[in-house]
Protein backbone atom coordinates (compact mmCIF):
# COMPACT_ATOMS: atom_id res chain seq x y z
CA UNK A 1 0.00 0.00 0.00
CA UNK A 2 1.36 3.41 -0.93
CA UNK A 3 2.06 6.06 1.64
CA UNK A 4 -0.72 8.24 0.18
CA UNK A 5 -3.24 5.39 0.51
CA UNK A 6 -2.18 4.77 4.09
CA UNK A 7 -2.69 8.46 4.88
CA UNK A 8 -6.21 8.35 3.40
CA UNK A 9 -7.06 5.31 5.49
CA UNK A 10 -5.78 7.02 8.64
CA UNK A 11 -7.91 10.05 7.91
CA UNK A 12 -11.03 8.03 7.20
CA UNK A 13 -10.57 6.12 10.47
CA UNK A 14 -10.10 9.45 12.27
CA UNK A 15 -13.32 10.84 10.72
CA UNK A 16 -15.26 7.76 11.79
CA UNK A 17 -13.92 7.99 15.34
CA UNK A 18 -14.77 11.66 15.87
CA UNK A 19 -18.21 11.18 14.32
CA UNK A 20 -19.26 9.36 17.45
CA UNK A 21 -18.51 12.53 19.41
CA UNK A 22 -20.65 14.68 17.04
CA UNK A 23 -17.63 16.31 15.45
CA UNK A 24 -16.53 16.63 11.82
CA UNK A 25 -13.42 17.97 10.03
CA UNK A 26 -13.84 21.55 8.79
CA UNK A 27 -11.14 21.11 6.15
CA UNK A 28 -13.35 18.70 4.22
CA UNK A 29 -16.06 21.33 3.69
CA UNK A 30 -14.21 24.62 4.18
CA UNK A 31 -14.29 25.71 0.53
CA UNK A 32 -18.04 25.12 0.26
CA UNK A 33 -18.76 27.16 3.41
CA UNK A 34 -16.53 30.18 2.81
CA UNK A 35 -16.55 30.99 -0.89
CA UNK A 36 -14.76 33.69 -2.92
CA UNK A 37 -18.15 35.05 -4.04
CA UNK A 38 -21.80 34.24 -3.27
CA UNK A 39 -23.03 30.82 -4.34
CA UNK A 40 -26.74 30.15 -4.07
CA UNK A 41 -28.84 27.15 -5.03
CA UNK A 42 -31.60 29.60 -6.05
CA UNK A 43 -31.97 30.04 -9.81
CA UNK A 44 -33.55 32.72 -12.00
CA UNK A 45 -37.21 32.03 -12.71
CA UNK A 46 -40.33 33.81 -13.93
CA UNK A 47 -43.95 33.05 -13.04
CA UNK A 48 -46.05 34.47 -15.88
CA UNK A 49 -49.30 35.57 -14.32
CA UNK A 50 -51.39 34.42 -17.27
CA UNK A 51 -50.06 30.90 -16.65
CA UNK A 52 -50.71 30.74 -12.91
CA UNK A 53 -53.78 32.94 -12.38
CA UNK A 54 -56.28 30.15 -13.03
CA UNK A 55 -54.58 27.91 -10.45
CA UNK A 56 -54.77 30.69 -7.86
CA UNK A 57 -58.49 31.16 -8.50
CA UNK A 58 -59.12 27.40 -8.46
CA UNK A 59 -57.62 27.28 -4.97
CA UNK A 60 -60.82 29.06 -3.93
CA UNK A 61 -62.77 25.91 -4.88
CA UNK A 62 -60.39 23.66 -2.96
CA UNK A 63 -60.32 25.34 0.45
CA UNK A 64 -61.90 28.32 2.19
CA UNK A 65 -59.91 31.23 3.58
CA UNK A 66 -61.05 30.28 7.10
CA UNK A 67 -59.91 26.66 6.75
CA UNK A 68 -56.57 27.59 5.23
CA UNK A 69 -56.02 30.57 7.55
CA UNK A 70 -54.01 31.97 4.62
CA UNK A 71 -54.99 30.60 1.20
CA UNK A 72 -51.72 30.96 -0.66
CA UNK A 73 -49.93 29.18 -3.48
CA UNK A 74 -46.23 29.34 -2.61
CA UNK A 75 -43.81 30.46 -5.33
CA UNK A 76 -41.02 27.93 -4.86
CA UNK A 77 -37.70 28.60 -6.53
CA UNK A 78 -36.91 25.65 -8.85
CA UNK A 79 -33.52 25.33 -7.14
CA UNK A 80 -35.12 25.22 -3.68
CA UNK A 81 -38.14 22.95 -4.19
CA UNK A 82 -39.69 21.64 -1.01
CA UNK A 83 -38.15 24.42 1.10
CA UNK A 84 -41.07 26.91 0.84
CA UNK A 85 -38.88 29.79 -0.28
CA UNK A 86 -38.18 31.88 -3.35
CA UNK A 87 -34.63 32.79 -2.29
CA UNK A 88 -32.52 31.41 0.53
CA UNK A 89 -33.77 34.18 2.83
CA UNK A 90 -37.28 35.06 1.59
CA UNK A 91 -40.68 33.50 1.03
CA UNK A 92 -43.20 34.56 -1.61
CA UNK A 93 -46.67 33.39 -2.58
CA UNK A 94 -49.92 34.43 -4.27
CA UNK A 95 -52.82 34.85 -1.84
CA UNK A 96 -56.50 34.81 -2.77
CA UNK A 97 -59.47 36.34 -0.92
CA UNK A 98 -63.01 36.07 -2.28
CA UNK A 99 -66.04 38.32 -1.68
CA UNK A 100 -67.45 37.94 1.83
CA UNK A 101 -64.48 35.97 3.14
CA UNK A 102 -62.28 36.71 6.14
CA UNK A 103 -58.76 35.37 6.63
CA UNK A 104 -58.64 35.16 10.46
CA UNK A 105 -56.71 37.64 12.56
CA UNK A 106 -53.32 36.59 13.90
CA UNK A 107 -49.85 37.96 14.54
CA UNK A 108 -46.37 36.50 14.17
CA UNK A 109 -42.66 37.21 14.41
CA UNK A 110 -42.28 37.40 10.64
CA UNK A 111 -42.34 40.67 8.72
CA UNK A 112 -44.72 40.62 5.76
CA UNK A 113 -45.67 42.76 2.80
CA UNK A 114 -48.55 42.45 0.35
CA UNK A 115 -48.39 43.80 -3.20
CA UNK A 116 -51.84 43.84 -4.78
CA UNK A 117 -51.96 42.11 -8.17
CA UNK A 118 -55.67 42.41 -8.97
CA UNK A 119 -59.05 43.17 -7.42
CA UNK A 120 -60.81 45.90 -5.45
CA UNK A 121 -62.89 46.07 -2.30
CA UNK A 122 -60.69 43.85 -0.13
CA UNK A 123 -58.89 45.13 2.94
CA UNK A 124 -56.11 44.34 5.37
CA UNK A 125 -56.56 45.40 8.99
CA UNK A 126 -53.39 46.10 11.01
CA UNK A 127 -53.61 46.77 14.74
CA UNK A 128 -57.16 48.10 14.50
CA UNK A 129 -56.87 50.11 11.26
CA UNK A 130 -58.20 48.96 7.90
CA UNK A 131 -56.57 49.74 4.58
CA UNK A 132 -58.64 49.01 1.49
CA UNK A 133 -56.57 47.51 -1.27
CA UNK A 134 -56.39 48.30 -4.97
CA UNK A 135 -54.13 47.04 -7.73
CA UNK A 136 -50.54 48.20 -7.30
CA UNK A 137 -50.85 49.11 -3.61
CA UNK A 138 -48.20 48.05 -1.10
CA UNK A 139 -49.47 46.92 2.32
CA UNK A 140 -47.20 46.11 5.28
CA UNK A 141 -47.82 43.90 8.30
CA UNK A 142 -44.82 44.47 10.62
CA UNK A 143 -43.72 41.81 13.12
CA UNK A 144 -46.20 40.99 15.91
CA UNK A 145 -48.95 43.26 14.62
CA UNK A 146 -52.47 41.85 14.61
CA UNK A 147 -53.70 41.54 11.03
CA UNK A 148 -56.57 39.98 9.11
CA UNK A 149 -57.87 40.20 5.57
CA UNK A 150 -61.41 40.44 4.26
CA UNK A 151 -63.35 41.46 1.20
CA UNK A 152 -66.40 43.58 0.51
CA UNK A 153 -65.65 43.47 -3.21
CA UNK A 154 -67.53 41.86 -6.06
CA UNK A 155 -64.72 39.70 -7.39
CA UNK A 156 -61.50 37.95 -6.35
CA UNK A 157 -58.52 39.86 -4.97
CA UNK A 158 -55.03 38.44 -5.43
CA UNK A 159 -51.82 39.75 -3.96
CA UNK A 160 -48.16 38.83 -3.79
CA UNK A 161 -47.04 37.95 -0.27
CA UNK A 162 -43.43 38.52 0.74
CA UNK A 163 -42.17 37.36 4.15
CA UNK A 164 -38.84 36.80 5.90
CA UNK A 165 -39.83 33.29 7.02
CA UNK A 166 -36.44 31.69 6.20
CA UNK A 167 -34.60 34.41 8.15
CA UNK A 168 -36.75 33.80 11.23
CA UNK A 169 -36.22 30.05 10.82
CA UNK A 170 -32.45 30.61 10.79
CA UNK A 171 -32.69 32.31 14.18
CA UNK A 172 -35.30 29.83 15.54
CA UNK A 173 -37.32 32.87 16.61
CA UNK A 174 -40.84 32.18 15.31
CA UNK A 175 -43.95 32.94 17.36
CA UNK A 176 -47.57 32.85 16.17
CA UNK A 177 -50.70 33.90 18.06
CA UNK A 178 -54.34 33.78 17.05
CA UNK A 179 -56.72 36.62 17.89
CA UNK A 180 -59.67 35.64 20.11
CA UNK A 181 -62.11 36.64 17.36
CA UNK A 182 -62.05 36.07 13.61
CA UNK A 183 -61.64 39.80 12.91
CA UNK A 184 -60.06 42.38 15.16
CA UNK A 185 -62.20 45.40 16.09
CA UNK A 186 -61.64 48.64 14.19
CA UNK A 187 -60.16 51.11 16.65
CA UNK A 188 -58.78 53.66 14.18
CA UNK A 189 -60.27 55.21 11.06
CA UNK A 190 -58.86 54.16 7.68
CA UNK A 191 -55.95 56.44 6.76
CA UNK A 192 -55.09 57.24 10.38
CA UNK A 193 -51.46 56.07 10.14
CA UNK A 194 -50.92 58.01 6.92
CA UNK A 195 -52.37 61.16 8.48
CA UNK A 196 -50.03 60.82 11.46
CA UNK A 197 -46.82 59.85 9.70
CA UNK A 198 -47.23 60.07 5.93
CA UNK A 199 -46.93 63.82 5.41
CA UNK A 200 -43.35 64.45 6.59
CA UNK A 201 -44.65 64.94 10.12
CA UNK A 202 -45.30 62.81 13.20
CA UNK A 203 -47.27 63.33 16.39
CA UNK A 204 -45.45 65.46 18.94
CA UNK A 205 -43.75 63.56 21.73
CA UNK A 206 -41.51 60.55 22.01
CA UNK A 207 -41.04 58.70 18.73
CA UNK A 208 -42.33 55.11 18.56
CA UNK A 209 -39.56 52.53 18.90
CA UNK A 210 -40.90 50.09 16.31
CA UNK A 211 -38.24 49.38 13.65
CA UNK A 212 -40.93 49.06 10.95
CA UNK A 213 -42.72 51.90 9.22
CA UNK A 214 -45.78 53.21 11.11
CA UNK A 215 -47.35 53.78 7.68
CA UNK A 216 -48.57 50.40 6.45
CA UNK A 217 -50.37 51.40 3.23
CA UNK A 218 -48.56 52.86 0.22
CA UNK A 219 -51.15 53.45 -2.55
CA UNK A 220 -50.19 52.96 -6.17
CA UNK A 221 -51.67 56.30 -7.17
CA UNK A 222 -49.29 58.12 -4.80
CA UNK A 223 -46.02 56.52 -5.85
CA UNK A 224 -46.90 56.49 -9.56
CA UNK A 225 -47.56 60.21 -9.37
CA UNK A 226 -44.16 60.68 -7.74
CA UNK A 227 -42.45 58.72 -10.53
CA UNK A 228 -44.21 60.72 -13.22
CA UNK A 229 -43.24 64.04 -11.66
CA UNK A 230 -39.64 62.96 -11.19
CA UNK A 231 -39.18 61.64 -14.71
CA UNK A 232 -39.18 65.12 -16.23
CA UNK A 233 -36.22 66.32 -14.18
CA UNK A 234 -34.32 63.33 -12.79
CA UNK A 235 -31.21 61.78 -14.30
CA UNK A 236 -31.78 58.20 -15.36
CA UNK A 237 -29.54 55.71 -13.58
CA UNK A 238 -27.83 53.42 -16.10
CA UNK A 239 -28.55 50.30 -14.00
CA UNK A 240 -31.99 51.13 -12.57
CA UNK A 241 -33.72 53.82 -14.61
CA UNK A 242 -35.65 55.87 -12.07
CA UNK A 243 -35.78 53.87 -8.82
CA UNK A 244 -37.20 54.77 -5.42
CA UNK A 245 -37.17 53.07 -2.02
CA UNK A 246 -40.23 52.85 0.22
CA UNK A 247 -39.13 54.22 3.59
CA UNK A 248 -39.95 54.34 7.26
CA UNK A 249 -40.82 58.06 7.67
CA UNK A 250 -39.51 58.05 11.25
CA UNK A 251 -35.99 57.05 10.27
CA UNK A 252 -35.61 57.41 6.51
CA UNK A 253 -34.56 53.76 6.52
CA UNK A 254 -36.26 50.72 4.96
CA UNK A 255 -39.89 49.96 5.70
CA UNK A 256 -39.09 46.84 7.74
CA UNK A 257 -35.97 45.62 9.56
CA UNK A 258 -35.41 42.61 7.31
CA UNK A 259 -37.20 43.52 4.06
CA UNK A 260 -36.65 46.49 1.77
CA UNK A 261 -39.14 47.45 -0.96
CA UNK A 262 -38.62 49.43 -4.16
CA UNK A 263 -40.37 50.73 -7.25
CA UNK A 264 -38.75 51.79 -10.51
CA UNK A 265 -39.70 53.26 -13.86
CA UNK A 266 -37.94 52.56 -17.14
CA UNK A 267 -39.10 54.72 -20.06
CA UNK A 268 -39.91 53.18 -23.42
CA UNK A 269 -36.84 51.76 -25.22
CA UNK A 270 -34.61 52.20 -22.13
CA UNK A 271 -32.08 49.41 -21.54
CA UNK A 272 -30.11 49.06 -18.32
CA UNK A 273 -26.47 48.21 -17.84
CA UNK A 274 -25.64 44.89 -16.13
CA UNK A 275 -26.10 44.97 -12.38
CA UNK A 276 -25.80 42.52 -9.52
CA UNK A 277 -25.97 42.64 -5.75
CA UNK A 278 -25.92 40.27 -2.82
CA UNK A 279 -29.62 40.68 -2.01
CA UNK A 280 -31.73 38.16 -3.92
CA UNK A 281 -34.66 40.19 -5.25
CA UNK A 282 -38.26 39.42 -6.24
CA UNK A 283 -39.81 41.61 -8.94
CA UNK A 284 -43.34 42.01 -10.24
CA UNK A 285 -44.47 44.00 -13.25
CA UNK A 286 -46.88 46.76 -12.28
CA UNK A 287 -47.37 48.28 -15.73
CA UNK A 288 -45.89 47.95 -19.18
CA UNK A 289 -44.00 45.30 -21.08
CA UNK A 290 -40.34 44.53 -21.50
CA UNK A 291 -37.61 41.97 -21.10
CA UNK A 292 -35.41 40.84 -18.24
CA UNK A 293 -32.12 39.03 -18.74
CA UNK A 294 -31.30 37.30 -15.45
CA UNK A 295 -28.00 35.48 -15.58
CA UNK A 296 -28.23 33.46 -18.81
CA UNK A 297 -32.05 33.42 -18.92
CA UNK A 298 -34.36 35.78 -20.81
CA UNK A 299 -37.89 36.54 -19.60
CA UNK A 300 -40.49 38.41 -21.61
CA UNK A 301 -42.42 40.58 -19.16
CA UNK A 302 -46.09 41.54 -19.13
CA UNK A 303 -48.22 43.03 -16.31
CA UNK A 304 -48.35 41.01 -13.07
CA UNK A 305 -45.53 38.65 -14.06
CA UNK A 306 -43.22 37.80 -11.15
CA UNK A 307 -39.53 36.95 -11.48
CA UNK A 308 -36.66 36.31 -9.09
CA UNK A 309 -33.06 37.47 -9.35
CA UNK A 310 -30.87 35.33 -7.05
CA UNK A 311 -27.97 36.75 -5.05
CA UNK A 312 -25.04 37.99 -7.16
CA UNK A 313 -26.84 37.17 -10.40
CA UNK A 314 -26.56 39.69 -13.23
CA UNK A 315 -29.72 41.59 -14.24
CA UNK A 316 -30.41 43.65 -17.35
CA UNK A 317 -33.79 45.20 -18.11
CA UNK A 318 -35.26 46.50 -21.35
CA UNK A 319 -38.51 48.45 -21.63
CA UNK A 320 -40.66 47.78 -24.68
CA UNK A 321 -42.95 50.54 -23.39
CA UNK A 322 -42.93 52.48 -20.13
CA UNK A 323 -42.16 49.76 -17.59
CA UNK A 324 -42.97 50.01 -13.86
CA UNK A 325 -41.55 47.35 -11.55
CA UNK A 326 -42.09 46.69 -7.86
CA UNK A 327 -39.45 44.68 -6.01
CA UNK A 328 -38.47 43.53 -2.54
CA UNK A 329 -35.36 41.95 -1.06
CA UNK A 330 -33.47 41.27 2.16
CA UNK A 331 -31.22 44.29 1.57
CA UNK A 332 -32.23 46.00 4.83
CA UNK A 333 -31.10 42.96 6.85
CA UNK A 334 -27.86 42.66 4.89
CA UNK A 335 -27.04 46.33 5.36
CA UNK A 336 -27.55 46.09 9.12
CA UNK A 337 -25.12 43.17 9.17
CA UNK A 338 -22.62 45.01 6.90
CA UNK A 339 -22.93 42.28 4.27
CA UNK A 340 -24.54 44.05 1.32
CA UNK A 341 -22.46 44.60 -1.83
CA UNK A 342 -23.21 45.54 -5.43
CA UNK A 343 -21.49 45.55 -8.81
CA UNK A 344 -22.47 47.99 -11.54
CA UNK A 345 -21.86 47.57 -15.26
CA UNK A 346 -19.27 45.37 -16.94
CA UNK A 347 -16.23 46.96 -15.34
CA UNK A 348 -16.21 44.49 -12.45
CA UNK A 349 -15.99 47.19 -9.78
CA UNK A 350 -17.58 46.05 -6.55
CA UNK A 351 -18.84 48.52 -3.96
Q: What is the pLDDT of residues 223-276, one digit of tens each?
A: 999 999 988 887 899 999 999 999 998 888 999 999 999 999 999 999 999 999
Where in the sequence is the domain holding 25, given as residue range(s)? Answer: 3-31
pLDDT computed for residue 209 by the predictor: 65
Residues near 338 by beta carbon (within 8 Å), at least 6 away in sequence: none
CATH number of domain containing 229? 2.60.120.10
Q: Are residues 12 and 76 in the same domain?
A: no
Residues near 228 by beta carbon (within 8 Å), at least 6 away in sequence: none
Q: Are residues 207 and 229 in the same domain?
A: yes
pLDDT computed for residue 100 by the predictor: 95
- Give the best-scoring range by mean pLDDT among 4-18, 43-57, 220-234: 43-57
Q: Are residues 16 and 114 in the same domain?
A: no
What is the rounded CA–CA span in Å between residue 44 and residue 317? Answer: 14
Q: Are residues 123 and 85 in the same domain?
A: yes
- 337 within a domain of the structure (yes/no): yes
Cβ atoms of 140 and 254 closer than 8 Å: no
Q: Mean pLDDT lowest for which of 159-173, 177-191, 206-220? A: 206-220
Kindly report the pTM of this predicted structure.
Answer: 0.94
Q: Are residues 102 and 235 in the same domain?
A: yes
* CA distances from residue 129 to 146, 191, 350 in whole angstroms, order as listed: 10, 8, 43
- 351 within a domain of the structure (yes/no): no
Q: Are residues 80 and 203 in the same domain?
A: yes
- 267 within a domain of the structure (yes/no): yes
- 133 within a domain of the structure (yes/no): yes
- 264 within a domain of the structure (yes/no): yes
What is the rounded CA–CA span in Å between residue 304 and residue 323? Answer: 12
Q: Are residues 79 and 113 in the same domain?
A: yes
Structurally, the chain folds into a number of domains equal to: 2
What is the rounded CA–CA span in Å between residue 155 and residue 56? Answer: 13
pLDDT computed for residue 208 by the predictor: 65
Q: Are residues 82 and 225 in the same domain?
A: yes
Mean pLDDT of 308-322: 98
Q: Are residues 9 and 56 in the same domain?
A: no
Percent of the chain with pLDDT over 70: 97
Percent of the chain with pLDDT over 90: 83
Q: Are residues 21 and 99 in the same domain?
A: no
Q: Are residues 16 and 49 in the same domain?
A: no
What is the rounded CA–CA span in Å between residue 279 and residue 276? Answer: 9
Q: Mean pLDDT lowest for which of 58-62, 247-251, 312-316? A: 247-251
Q: Are residues 285 and 218 in the same domain?
A: yes
298 pLDDT higher than 60: yes
- 38 within a domain of the structure (yes/no): no
- 191 within a domain of the structure (yes/no): yes
- 350 within a domain of the structure (yes/no): no
Amino acid sequence: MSKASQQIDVREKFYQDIDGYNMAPLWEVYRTLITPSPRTPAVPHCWHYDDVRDWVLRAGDVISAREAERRVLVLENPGLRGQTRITNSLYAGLQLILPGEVAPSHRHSQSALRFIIEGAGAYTAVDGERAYMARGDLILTPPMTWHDHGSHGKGPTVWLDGLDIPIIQTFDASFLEGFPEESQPSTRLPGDSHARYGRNMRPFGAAPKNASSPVFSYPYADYREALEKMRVQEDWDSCHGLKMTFINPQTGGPVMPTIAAFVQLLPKAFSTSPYRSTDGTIYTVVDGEGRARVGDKDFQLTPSDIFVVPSWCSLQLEAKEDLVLFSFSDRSAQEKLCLWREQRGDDGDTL
